[in-house]
Amino acid sequence: MTDYLQTLEQEFEAHSNPQIAEGQKAYMRNQFEFYGLTSPKRKEIQRPFLVQSYLPPKEKLHALVKILWPKTATGVSILCPGIGF
């Protein structure tokens, strides 16, 4: 499961845009960190991670959400609803 998360975070980092991230962070009153991904770009990146054959086993999804949810970068925590929670 850690490989799954590391790969996801690496993909978000690789496509991050600091200029957009600055605006997103300001919009949220500097309460959260952002990768600077627009919604369409984030969805494009996370789509392969939400394919059922790639997701961790269903028994481990709750643990995955518990790891993702508190992450400070909202691009990662926003994946939670996509995996069924």
* Residue with tokens 């790891």, as numbered in its chain: 67
The structure's pTM equals 0.75
pLDDT score recorded for residue 57:
86
| pLDDT tens, the chain, 85 aa long | 678 888 988 999 999 999 999 998 999 899 888 899 998 998 899 899 888 778 888 888 888 878 877 776 665 656 655 555 4
3-state helix, strand, coil in the chain (%, to 5): 65, 0, 35
CA distance 59 to 71: 21
- For the segment(s) 2-83, the CATH number from 1.20.1660.10, 1.10.600.10, 1.10.645.10, 1.10.240.10 is 1.20.1660.10
The pLDDT value recorded for residue 23 is 95
Cα–Cα distances (Å) from 7 to 14, 19, 31, 80, in that order, read: 10, 23, 25, 16
